[in-house]
Amino acid sequence: MDRLLLSLLVAAFFGLCVYGMWRGWRRQARAQSVEFPPFPEVPAQPGEPVLEAHGLYVCTTRAGRWQERIVTRGAGLRTTATLRCYPGGIEVERVGAPGFWIPRESVVDTVIGKGMAGKVMGTDSLLVITWRLGEEAVDTGFRGDDIDVYPKWIEALHGNVTGPQTKGGAQR
């Protein structure tokens, strides 16, 4: 009987912890929905992609703060993704989560980093795009299946970078 009671107590504690994490995630999403505008939608006719990469969408964080994940509107969900670079911007197509568009004129910087918000690698294997979402600068992290294409992405995006050059928030 004591063993059953102890097992139920541990299960209840575990359930309470999961419930608390869920409530915290929801509270943070509500607060951020006021701070951040909705992510731009992909245009109906973006043109022909210049570059394409398959991999993992890691997350979007506040620029310069690589642990402050943005969770509103599904932006905090880590998913398999395809990144496509068009002349007018970057499409982030995510599996099981809404995709979004990064307008080319919003891109501030593109760097290679080691990690961000719970995904830290020992090597420089994360492509981090710093861009403006409304008035706030944010970092979007992508872990490509083929990291050898990152220099092409950096070259393509730096060729049309506008605004001040700032360092992204990824861990370097």
Helix (H) or strand (E) holding 56: strand 51-62
Residue 164 has pLDDT above 60, yes or no: no
Q: How confident is the model at residue 159 (pLDDT cuts 50, 70, 90)?
A: low
Q: What are phi and psi for residue 11, nearest 5 degrees?
A: -60, -40
| Residue 76 CB partners (closer than 8 Å, separation 6+) | 25, 29, 59, 60, 69, 70
Q: What are the residues facing 36 on neighbouring strands? A: none
Q: What is the average per-residue pLDDT within 103-109?
A: 90
> What tokens appear for 154 in the block?
């950096």
Look at residue 29 and give its three-state secondary structure. helix
Amino acid 118: pLDDT = 65
Q: Among positive and negative, which fits the CA dihedral 26, 97, 102, 57?
A: positive
Confidence (pTM): 0.74
The whole-chain average pLDDT of the chain stands at: 81
Residue range 107-158, pLDDT digits in tens: 988 888 877 876 666 677 888 899 998 888 888 888 888 888 888 888 888 7
Q: How confident is the model at residue 160 (pLDDT cuts 50, 70, 90)?
A: very low
**Cα(143)–Cα(122) distance, integer angstroms:** 13
**Cα(128)–Cα(142) distance, integer angstroms:** 6
Which of 22-31, 72-81, 83-92 comes out lowest in average pLDDT? Answer: 22-31
Which of 7-21, 92-106, 120-134 comes out lowest in average pLDDT? Answer: 120-134
Q: What is the DSSP letter of 148?
A: G
